[in-house]
Amino acid sequence: MAALRPEPVLLHDRAMDNLRYIRQTIERAGSFTAVPGMGGVLMGSTALAAAFIAGPRTADARWLTVWLVEAVVALLIGILGAAVKSRRAGMTLLSGPGRKFVAGFAPPMIAGAVLSAVLFRAGLGEFLPGVWLLLYGAAILSGGWASVRVVPVMGACFMAAGTVALLWPAAPGDVFLAAGFGGLHILFGTVISIRYGG
């Protein structure tokens, strides 16, 4: 009696499996190129508006509310810009490099939220601009290692601005926030837009 032979694997099916594996490997090893340049310019513009609206009083509840609203607006602009840019590139937003970016970006941002609540409650709102710039820079620097080279440089610039704001007690926080979240976003957003396609 003849033994049953297994069905042969079709060459097309095997090739498709191999291509899928190669594509997933490249995605995991690649760079997160969906950092939105034009989104950065828009985030910088809304930050300049927030700095103007909020004014210089860092211990004021109205000031904090304006900047919290700005943080939400900037986050939405960043996510939308990254989604549009990744869709144009034919990749999913949370591909391997995208997940690495988020994994590096999220912890410093969570630390910043906790420190903000503690400092504001303790009446130390004057430290918030420096803390925000420093930890946002750390988030960009940490997440940026999964991105193009200019992104970690941007993070280092934010960290430098935050350090100066913290070490220079007489420095006006609103000026640092406008220069950092406004100026640095516009500057690096323009560079990213020109060199890395939008």
pTM (predicted TM-score) = 0.78
Given a cut of 50, whether residue 187 has pLDDT beyond it is yes
Q: What is the chain's mean pLDDT, rounded?
A: 82
Helix 150-167 and helix 128-144: axis angle, to 10°?
A: 160
**Residue 186 has which token pair?**
């516009």
Instruction: Judge contact between 156 and 176, C-beta under 8 A.
Output: no
Given a cut of 80, whether residue 86 has pLDDT beyond it is no
For range 154-164, the mean pLDDT = 94
Indicate the helix (H) or strand (E) that contains 153: helix 150-167
Burial class (CB in 10 A: 0-12, 13-18, 19+), 143: buried
Instruction: Judge contact between 124 and 131, C-beta under 8 A.
Output: no
Neighbours of 9 (CB within 10 A): 9
Residue with tokens 């000031």: 63
Of residues 140 and 23, which shows the higher confidence score? 140
When mean pLDDT is compared across 29-38, 74-83, 158-167, the lowest value belongs to 29-38
Of residues 125 and 32, which shows the higher confidence score? 125
Q: What angle do CA 162, 151, 63 make, to 5 degrees?
A: 35
Instruction: Residue 42: name the closest of 34, 50, 54, 33 by CA.
Output: 50
92-143 tens-digit pLDDT: 666 666 778 788 888 999 999 999 999 999 988 889 999 999 999 999 998 8
Given a cut of 50, whether residue 82 has pLDDT beyond it is yes
